[in-house]
Amino acid sequence: MSVLLIAEHDGKQLKPGTANAIAAAGAMGDDLTVLVVGHQCGEAAQAAAKVAGVKKVLHCDAPHYAGSAAENLAALIVPLADKYTHVVAPATGFGKNFMPRVAALLDVQQISDISAVQSPDTFVRPIYAGNALATVQSKDKIKVVTVRATGFDPAGEAASAAPVETLAPVPDAGLSKFNGQELTKSARPELTAARVIVSGGRGMGNAENFKILEALADKLGAAVGASRAAVDSGFVPNDYQVGQTGKIVAPDLYVAVGISGAIQHLAGMKDSKVIVAINKDPEAPIFAIAN
């Protein structure tokens, strides 16, 4: 079994989720190659080489990989895939975007968002917003898999660094033009990596009241999350959203303030270790899963 894993990074470091995906890949096969593709991402390639379980790093650098356009990533990965039994990426906004493109070009039915590996061809994945767990087996020659970070503990540091090889880029497909990103700036930890999350819902009432949560989060060294209702009401930006189709989190402590607990929200946080719910409605469904 040989696994190709596509790392998510910011040019310098691997993003949270990638180390978890590396751990999951280890359960599929022990010959693990990590691809670090981007623009000016040499440091990230070095960082990937130092993760336990990684046998080799492929580093591919070109300006047209800056925005991680799915068209260009797929064109790079598909010709490589023949040499591997598994192609793996984290099930984040990054992985969800290009992996189905890779799978379709390989004529493979992707297995999305796995939470456990039972054998190299059998995986467990949540369906219906996590209200059911399906065990699925793939008959495809190459398994294309995205990994839910909360299902796996992150891989640790390796004793010695794996070799880094340079991979030649594939020319720009020219199908789309990257016009920049508006990233939410915050000194707080990333939602998917935070140990503590303070999350607010519609019950917060307005964006002003959300600042109270932000102050609390800063005291606790926590990240700030939100329910869909809070994002739709414009209290906070979209990247705060925790839920079925937002971010999936499993911190040590999740404090849900003014969140009633729609199944779509619970899907994103019910694997948290300790859940504290603050709500004025004693019948709110959030209490069914809170500690």
Partner 1 sequence: MKVLVSVKRVIDPYVKVRVKSDGSGVETANVKMAMNPFCEIAMEQAVRMKEAGVVSEIVAVSVGTTQSQETLRTAMAMGADRGILVEADADVQPLAVAKVMKAIVEKESPRLVIMGKQAIDDDSNQSGQMLAALLGWAQVAFASKIEINGDNADCTREIDGGLEKIAAKLPAVVTADLRLNEPRYVTLPNIMKAKKKPLETIKPDALGVDVAPRLTTLKVEEPAKRGAGVKVADVAELVAKLKNEAKVL
Residue closer to partner 1 by CB (options 30, 153) is: 153
Ramachandran sector of residue 113 (left: φ over 0; alpha: ψ -120 to 50; beta: rest)? left
Is residue 291 near partner 1 by the rule CB under 8 A?
yes
Total residue count of the chain as it appears in this document: 291
Q: Which residues contact 2 (CB under 8 A, 6 or more apart)?
A: 29, 31, 32, 33, 83, 84, 85, 86
Minimum distance between the CB of residue 186 and partner 1, rounded to whole angstroms?
Answer: 9
Contact between 217 and 223 under an 8 Å Cβ cutoff? The reply is yes
- Shortest distance (Å) from residue 164 CB to partner 1: 26
Q: 30 vs 218, which CB is nearer to partner 1?
A: 218
Letters for 63-82 (x = contact with partner 1 by CB under 8 A, - = none) are ----x-xxx--x--------
Greatest extent of the chain over all pairs of C-alpha atoms, in Å: 59
Using CB under 8 A as the binding rule, whether residue 231 contacts partner 1 is answered as yes
- Interacting residues of 44 by C-beta distance below 8 A, sequence separation 6+: 7, 9, 10, 11, 12, 13, 14, 36, 38
- Using the rule CB under 8 A, is 227 a contact of partner 1? no
Q: Which two tokens stand for residue 240?
A: 């705060």
- Which of residues 59 and 125 has its CB atom nearest to partner 1 in the complex? 125
Residue ranges in 236-275 that form contacts with partner 1 under rule CB under 8 A:
237-239, 244-245, 247, 252-253, 263-264, 270, 273-275
Is 33 within 8 Å of 162 (Cβ atoms)? no
Q: How far is the CB of 285 from partner 1 (least distance, A)?
A: 10
Q: Which amino acid is residue 172, in one-letter code?
A: D
Of 3 and 142, CB closest to partner 1: 142
The conformation of residue 270, written as its DSSP 8-state character, comes to T
Task: Name which of residues 135 to 154 contact partner 1 (CB under 8 A).
Answer: 135-140
Q: Does 96 bind partner 1 (CB under 8 A)?
A: yes
Nearest distance from C-beta of residue 42 to partner 1, angstroms: 21
Output Rg (C-alpha) for the chain, integer angstroms: 20
Binding piece for partner 1, criterion CB under 8 A, among 21-29, 44-52, 179-187, 198-206: 179-187
Q: Which residues, 6 or more positions from 46, have their beta carbon under 8 angstroms from its beta carbon? A: 161, 164
Say whether residue 289 binds partner 1 (CB under 8 A).
yes
With beta carbons less than 8 A apart as the criterion, state whether 21 and 49 touch.
Answer: no
- Binding segment for partner 1 (CB under 8 A), chosen from 30-38, 57-65, 79-87, 180-188, is 180-188
User: Is 98 one of the binding residues for partner 1 (CB under 8 A)?
Assistant: yes
Does 100 bind partner 1 (CB under 8 A)? Our answer is yes
Sole binder of partner 1 in the list 82, 107, 208, 283 (CB under 8 A):
107
Which residue type, as a one-letter code, is found at position 270? K
